[in-house]
Amino acid sequence: MEIVTFQALGAPVKGYLQEDYDTLVAHKVRPAVVICPGGAYRWRSPREKDAPAFEFLSMGYQVFILEYSCAGKAGGYRPLRELAETVCQLRVHHEGWHIDPDKIAVLGFSAGGHLAASLGAFWNDPEVALPAQARPDALVLCYPVISTKEFAHEESAEWVSGGDPELREKMHLWDQVTADFPPTFMWHSGEDASVPPENSLFLAVELKKHGIPFEYHLFGSGAHGISTCTQEVETPDKVCRAWVPLCKTWLNRRFEFAP
């Protein structure tokens, strides 16, 4: 494994890369996953960083973790611009980092899921004015914050909007789905008391209306913030743990990747 680091508009990014390219016949370039940890836009949860990163590294992906801006620095689209720059840097350096530039997924947990979905919604929004090459090829949204209205996670909504009511309105993401939204994998725990599953459920409805390829799993049990659902992250859950192989199957099919 090779570790690389860089800055995305000042936000630290750490990448875990496969490195045995000299002996490989196939897969000299690989899909990549950018991980956005959750934490209500106030902090970034450690259990949603390395644990999922190593899951996807073991699947053969190149994996990056974005330490996006939080708390008083979370408003004004700043985390979104940092994520957009991260995706752009992966495409700029795709040869050196052995990345297929057309197979870059963004994965987010909770508020990080809101950030990932925001890039899916606003990558070509003229008001936000992000680079076109920032569009992710797929999204993976894990118990994501989507609403800033009904069913909102209030702290996330306040931090990401910076208290600006117009920005808060715009960050209500199921109203922002268009035909340009990327293919999406989502899952949520039915007993999530922090971010109600209606957040992802109503997003799924909008994806269906707009003809966006998606897969959605609503598990009947499970809490919030359970990451990879293992003892390693102190949130073992045999039911919700199924999201990992389900996501692997979905992503590999989307990216035509068979490691």
pLDDT, tens digit, for every residue of 88-107? 999 999 999 999 999 999 99
Q: Which residue has the tokens 């609403």?
A: 147
Through-space distance between the first and last CA atoms of the chain, rounded to whole angstroms: 16
Instruction: Give the pLDDT confidence score for residue 24 in this predicted structure.
Output: 66
Instruction: Give the pLDDT confidence score for residue 20 in this predicted structure.
Output: 73
Instruction: Give the pLDDT confidence score for residue 55 in this predicted structure.
Output: 97
What is the token pair recorded at 246?
């389900």
CB 51 within 8 A of CB 244: no
Cα 232 to Cα 8: distance, rounded to the nearest angstrom: 29
Share the mean pLDDT of the chain.
95
Report residue 22: phi and psi, to 5°: -65, -30
pLDDT, tens digit, for every residue of 132-172? 899 999 999 999 999 999 999 989 999 999 999 999 999 99
Ranges of the chain whose pLDDT falls below 50: none
pTM: 0.96
Instruction: Give the pLDDT confidence score for residue 25 in this predicted structure.
Output: 62
